Amino acid sequence: LPTHIDGAAPIYPLPPTPRENRVLPEDLKTPDKHVERDPRLIRLTGIHPFNVEAPLSELYDEGFLTTKDLHYVRNHGAVPAVEDPSVLDWEFTIEGMVARPVTLTLRELIQNYDQATYPVTLVCAGNRRKEQNVVRKTKGFSWGAAGLSTALWTGVTLPDLLARARPLRGARYICFEGADRLPNGYYGTSVKLGWAMDPERGMMVAHKMNGEMLHPDHGKPLRVVIPGQIGGRSVKWLKRIIVTPAPSDNWYHIYDNRVLPTMISPEESADLPETWKDERYAIYDLNTNSAVCYPAHDERLAVGDGLYKLKGYAYAGGGKRVTRMEVTLDQGRTWMLAAVSYPEDLYRLAPDGEVLYGGRLDMAWRESSFCWCFWELDVPISRLQKAGDVMIRAMDDAMMVQPRDMYWSVLGMMNNPWYRVVIHNEGNTLRFEHPTQPALIPGGWMERVKKEGGNITNGFWGEKTAGEDSAPAQEAP
């Protein structure tokens, strides 16, 4: 249990108790046969490599903090195996344009540097990609809307780490490289050095998740955590930190985690190296996004009096906050304001000097927000009965609102149009239908409408618009 300055119970959330998992039979024939996992996780790329999300309702039901059991995983290849006794001997380097290059063990990192603990929501850039794949196949696999999770991370902040290494004049980027050997080399990427030096951005190297040593799928024994940015920047199994004058030239930095302009097809993209290298198309900050968690897909609701509580999550990127959530039952003609709660703010209220899992929980000074929030709205069931669908949109504190239109792109990332749940009125029951189901799981109104010949790219969810002929759905864009 955490140490509390005043001995009182903490006013901020602590993680749910994790399960005892074991190695699953399907993993025994893979290189990951040393990794214990929760069978509830939905595999998105076959058995191996391990890319999973939780069922959306179960993720939501865990609350603000996600256990290792249900935390989404994005692995490009085999999980490096590090035995418990050798964890503290794990070495990594800080090299490149620094006055004091250094090789550190995890033991030294823990002993010689200030430790910090705070909550961060990680989100895969592919969250909600299945929707894009239904419109037109992208080069990415089909995430549902549970490609995000929140944990308490403990480690050393990058400003602290870099203050000792002392970046040299002319250095502009910081590259990270993991121990996962892949077809195109080790996984690696970079962010701007100025960001890494800024305490407001809260970047860290972490060795604990929810108070425990990192799980192998989450980078055991050491990873980067880049709050407010896509998960692809938070390199796991960290081996090298390299300070450079230019962005990473790692294959995965250039050919992954980008939003190319929407008119570029997968075929065309193969011949556009300069487009791939254009840093303007690299994704760093998360964009603003949200989902409906309740009603769940295929949930049934008896028609009657009374209220139904719509519920879900939202997040923004780059330290921004979701400042409002709006719900429409008439396809955007009118909107209702949902209540939003921000459990992250409870950590800001911790007493001065609070220590959690061996790290300072010192968030009172920080303006930025790095976690998901929750929205809910009570709606009369009679109104749901009359509505054809429920849609939601978030606005962030940069006054940007989620768009009606999908921005389709080759990698299918950053999908964030209004989240739409269709309501089927089936006699005495309402049945709810989400846009898609993750992976190859069938279901969802998008596939259905597309099969019925509706154009799901027109900003009206397959309904006909003026001037549109009755031709079947075109491939976008």
Burial class (CB in 10 A: 0-12, 13-18, 19+), 9: exposed
285 contacts its own copies (rule: CB under 8 A): yes
143 contacts its own copies (rule: CB under 8 A): no
183 contacts its own copies (rule: CB under 8 A): no
**Which residue is associated with the tokens 């063990």?**
105
Q: 257, 415, 416, 455: which is the annotated catalytic residue?
A: 257
Task: Kindly tell me which residue out of 318, 412, 438, 444 binds its own copies, with binding defined by CB under 8 A.
Answer: 318
**Is 256 one of the catalytic residues?**
yes
Burial class (CB in 10 A: 0-12, 13-18, 19+), 5: exposed
SS3 of residue 127 by DSSP = coil
What's the CA gap between 456 and 438, in Å, rounded? 18
445 contacts its own copies (rule: CB under 8 A): no
464 contacts its own copies (rule: CB under 8 A): yes
Q: Which segments of 371-416 are extended strands (E)?
A: 373-380, 389-396
Specify the stretch interacting with its own copies by CB under 8 A; choose among 53-61, 136-144, 218-226, 330-338. 330-338
Q: Which residue number, 332 or 443, has a Cβ lying nearer to its own copies?
A: 332
Listed residue (252, 235, 216) closest to 178, CA to CA: 235
Nearest distance from C-beta of residue 134 to its own copies, angstroms: 18
Instruction: Indicate the helix (H) or strand (E) that contains 268.
Output: helix 266-269
Q: Which residues pair with 338 in a beta bridge?
A: none
CB-side neighbour CA atoms (13 Å) of 385: 14
Specify the stretch interacting with its own copies by CB under 8 A; choose among 32-40, 42-50, 72-80, 259-267. 259-267
What's the CA gap between 79 and 335, in Å, rounded? 46
Specify the stretch interacting with its own copies by CB under 8 A; choose among 14-22, 177-185, 327-335, 441-449. 327-335
Task: Kindly tell me which residue out of 401, 425, 431, 450 binds its own copies, with binding defined by CB under 8 A.
Answer: 401
Q: Which residue number, 132 or 154, has a Cβ lying nearer to its own copies?
A: 132
**Is 371 one of the catalytic residues?**
no
277 contacts its own copies (rule: CB under 8 A): no
Task: Kindly tell me which residue out of 263, 270, 307, 349 binds its own copies, with binding defined by CB under 8 A.
Answer: 263
What's the CA gap between 232 and 351, in Å, rounded? 33
Burial class (CB in 10 A: 0-12, 13-18, 19+), 169: exposed
166 contacts its own copies (rule: CB under 8 A): no
Q: Which residue number, 16 or 403, has a Cβ lying nearer to its own copies?
A: 403
**Which residue is associated with the tokens 């430790």?**
115
Nearest distance from C-beta of residue 321 to its own copies, angstroms: 7
Tokens of 367: 């303006």
245 contacts its own copies (rule: CB under 8 A): no
124 contacts its own copies (rule: CB under 8 A): no
Q: 124, 175, 371, 373: which is the annotated catalytic residue?
A: 124
Dihedral angle, C-alpha 29, 33, 35, 38, nearest 10 ° = 30
Strands 148-157 and 204-209 turn out to be antiparallel
233 touches 224 (CB < 8 A): yes
43 touches 50 (CB < 8 A): yes
55 contacts its own copies (rule: CB under 8 A): no
405 contacts its own copies (rule: CB under 8 A): yes
395 contacts its own copies (rule: CB under 8 A): yes
**Is 396 one of the catalytic residues?**
no
Tokens of 471: 């031709």
Phi-psi category of residue 242: left, alpha or beta, with phi > 0 → left and psi -120 to 50 → alpha: beta
Cβ neighbors of 426 (< 8 A, separation 6 or more) are none
257 contacts its own copies (rule: CB under 8 A): no
Binding mask 354-393 for its own copies (x = CB under 8 A): -----------x-x--------------------------
Task: Kindly tell me which residue out of 254, 283, 292, 449 binds its own copies, with binding defined by CB under 8 A.
Answer: 283
What's the CA gap between 292 and 59, in Å, rounded? 12
345 contacts its own copies (rule: CB under 8 A): no
Q: Which residue number, 66 or 402, has a Cβ lying nearer to its own copies?
A: 402
- Give the binding site for its own copies (CB under 8 A): 192, 194-195, 198, 200, 259, 261-263, 280-281, 283-288, 317-318, 320-321, 323-324, 326, 332-337, 365, 367, 395-405, 407, 414, 457-460, 463-467, 474, 477
Catalytic residue ranges: 124, 256-257
